[in-house]
Every structure is written in C-alpha cells, then in structure tokens.
C-alpha cells in the first residue's frame, strides 16, 4: 500500500488554508493549523489537508469540502473520481443556519444536489447535516455522522491548569449578528451567575465600538467583566480559556461544536450549546433540552460545588475519550471508506 493510501486527504479547493501534512503530530504553538475541525479528520488518520486536487486524489480517500458557489467543488469531485479516488463530501459550514444560507441560491442548490448525489458518500460532523445528505440521496447508504475529534491523547494539547488556579466564567460565543448563537442570552446568563457567585466574566469582542456599546447595555457590576480583542493565536486563546472554571454558551445552531471542544482541551466544563461535541462530550451540562435558568443553575453549581465540579469534568473526559478520540474517529473513518463500493471513473 502506498503511503498516500494510509491517510485521509481533506480537500478544500480554492480555500485559504495552506497545504498541511499530518504524518507528524501538530504542535500547539506552530503557525500551522491546529488538528481541530475538518483538519482533525486528516490529523487523526495521519493524512493531509490540501487545496490542490491532484495531490489530494493521490491519497485515494478524499473528504471534499463544499464551499462558495460550489463550482470548484463540483470540478474537484469529478477530477478526483476520474483519478480513481473515493470521494466523500461535506459542506464546510455545517451549522443549520449556515446550510440554510448556502442553499438559498438556485444555482448553488442545483450544484449541491448533484454533488451530494454523485459523490461516493457523505461525512457529516453533525447528525443534522447527515439527515440533510440522506434526504438528498433518498436513503442512508453512503452517509455517516462522524464527529470532529480532538487530540486529547496528546499531552502537548492538554491546556489544563490546576483547579485552584481556575476562576470565573468564559463566554464561548461572540457573534451578535447570528440569532441562533444567542450571544445576548449567554451574556445575560453570565451576568446573573456573576451576581450570585461574584465570578468574573470574560468575553471576546470582535465588533469594536458597536460591541462595546452592546456589552455596556448588559449591565455587569464594576470589575466583573473582562473584554478581550483580536490577536491571539489558537494556543494563546486556549490558555486564556483554561484560566476559567466554566465555559458558558447558549448556541442553538447545531454546529460541530468547537467551543465545547476547546473546553475539552482545557479540561473544564462547557455549559450550554447543542453542537455535536457539546452533546457527546458534555452531555450532563450541554444545551440539548436545556436553556435559561437550568443552565444558569448548572453554571452556578459548578462554580461553588467542588465535588460536583470534579465529577462533571471526569464524566466529560470519559465521554470524550470514548466518542471524540483520534483513535476512535480514525476507526470510524476506516470503516466508512472500507464499506464504500469500488470506485469507477465516473467522469472522464
């Protein structure tokens, strides 16, 4: 078997992320992309992330990301299959609001339906995206939900701090303009929990003066709110998250769940959020079936009840090791591609 057969190629034709080989583990402080999100599918298999179709097709197993107007994606699918690769596809942005926005144009919708139907299969990082692919393909064949894994096995990606050095609440959302993120609701909940516990709250503001005015309207007590701006690398960002005792969000977008994954790397609980990683890794505190007062109560208890805090982290890490590990997801990807029928050159 050629070396290129062993790992999955994640292909983003025309994208901005550079080519990246994951035969060696990624280092946290490297300038290269972290092994999270779609890059993690390549990383857990020792594969690579590509923009070039020819190099990606040489891996024989390709996960093609669908983005933009889908013309480049459609060409990449046909070129990869013609080269003999088995090609699974996935929309690059898979929150339900993002999928809805992507498919509002008739031309894009037409190309999406053709791509999903012609692909050898579909890999979805959320159960909800998998349901959409099954509807397009009129059945379950060739469609699988596989969550994006996290490098929890790698000590270099353990950003945890001693429990006694963790303080306050980190608000995981920062998008005011996406209704399903429920950013205002998360901030209001954090304010209420802070009023009860005295905990300081940290939030990122990427909206400049507009964001400052909106944050001022929330009405945090003096010295209870720390506002961060742009400029951190991913590793620096994780170190900031790890300073906190709890991550709090109210996102109902059905996204893959990077906020929850960041919390796993920091070994802290994530309260709220209904993403796939939230539900799998933080099932006791996620936002699936919970909102508002119940999530505030959970966050409050995690801040003041040391035994509950320790138990919650232990359960979360057990869940993550079982459902979101590199080895586990690599095995799921292997099973999926092995079960696909042999590829024939469909587009010559």
- Please tell me the predicted confidence (pLDDT) of residue 4: 46
CA 273, CA 115: separation in Å to the nearest integer? Answer: 30
CB-side exposure of 267: number of CA atoms within 13 Å? 16
Cα distances (angstroms) measured from residue 344 to each of 61, 62, 80, 85: 13, 15, 11, 9
- Please tell me the predicted confidence (pLDDT) of residue 346: 53
Where does residue 262 rank: exposed (0-12), middle (13-18), buried (19+ CB within 10 A)?
buried
> Is-contact 347 78, C-beta < 8 A?
yes
Identify the CATH number of the domain defined by range 155-323: 3.40.50.2000
End-to-end, the C-alpha distance of the chain in Å comes to 25
CA 127, CA 121: separation in Å to the nearest integer? Answer: 15
pLDDT, tens only, 102-152: 999 999 999 999 999 999 999 999 999 999 999 999 999 999 999 999 999
Length of the chain equals 348
Backbone angles phi, psi at 154, to 5 degrees: -95, 115
Topology match between the domains 3-149+325-339 and 155-323: yes
The answer for residues whose C-beta is within 8 angstroms of residue 54's C-beta and 6 or more apart is: 79, 83
Q: So where are the chain's domains? A: 3-149+325-339, 155-323
- Please tell me the predicted confidence (pLDDT) of residue 348: 45
**Going by CATH, does the domain composed of 3-149+325-339 fall within 3.10.450?**
no
Low-confidence ranges of the chain (pLDDT < 50): 1-4, 345, 347-348
CA 233, CA 202: separation in Å to the nearest integer? Answer: 17
- Please tell me the predicted confidence (pLDDT) of residue 15: 87
- Please tell me the predicted confidence (pLDDT) of residue 6: 61
- Please tell me the predicted confidence (pLDDT) of residue 343: 62
Vertex 334 angle, CA 259 and 6, to 5°: 100
Strand order in the sheet with 169-171: 225-228, 201-204, 169-171, 246-248, 270-271
- Please tell me the predicted confidence (pLDDT) of residue 291: 93
């Amino acid at each position: 078997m050629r070396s290129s057969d062993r790992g999955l190629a994640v292909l983003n034709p025309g994208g901005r992320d550079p080519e990246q080989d994951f035969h060696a583990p990624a280092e946290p402080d490297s300038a290269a992309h972290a092994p999270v999100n779609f890059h993690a599918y390549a990383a857990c298999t020792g594969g690579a992330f590509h923009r070039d179709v020819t190099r990606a097709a040489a891996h024989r197993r390709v996960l093609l990301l669908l983005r933009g107007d889908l013309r480049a994606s459609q060409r990449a699918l046909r070129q990869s299959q013609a080269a003999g690769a088995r090609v699974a596809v996935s929309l690059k942005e898979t929150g339900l609001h993002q999928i809805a926005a992507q498919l509002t144009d008739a031309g894009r919708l037409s190309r999406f339906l053709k791509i999903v139907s012609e692909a050898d299969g579909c890999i979805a990082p959320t159960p909800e995206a998998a349901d959409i692919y099954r509807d397009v393909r009129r059945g379950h064949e060739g469609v699988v939900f596989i969550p994006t894994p996290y490098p929890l096995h790698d000590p270099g990606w353990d950003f945890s701090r001693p429990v006694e050095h963790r303080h306050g609440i980190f608000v995981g959302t920062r998008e005011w303009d996406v209704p399903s993120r429920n950013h205002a609701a998360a901030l209001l909940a954090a304010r209420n929990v802070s009023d009860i516990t005295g905990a300081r709250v940290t939030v990122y503001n990427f909206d400049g003066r507009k964001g400052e005015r909106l944050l001022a309207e929330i009405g945090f007590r003096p010295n209870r709110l720390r506002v961060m701006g742009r400029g951190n690398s991913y590793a620096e960002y994780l170190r900031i998250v790890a300073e906190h005792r709890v991550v709090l969000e109210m996102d109902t977008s059905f996204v893959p769940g990077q906020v929850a994954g960041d919390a796993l790397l920091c070994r802290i609980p994530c309260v709220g959020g209904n993403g796939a990683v939230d539900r799998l890794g933080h099932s006791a505190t996620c936002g699936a079936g919970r909102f508002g007062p119940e999530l505030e109560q959970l966050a409050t208890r995690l801040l003041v009840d040391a035994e509950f805090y320790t138990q919650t982290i232990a359960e979360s890490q057990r869940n993550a090791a079982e459902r979101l590990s590199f080895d586990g997801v690599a095995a799921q990807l292997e099973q999926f591609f092995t079960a696909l029928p042999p590829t024939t050159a469909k587009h010559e």
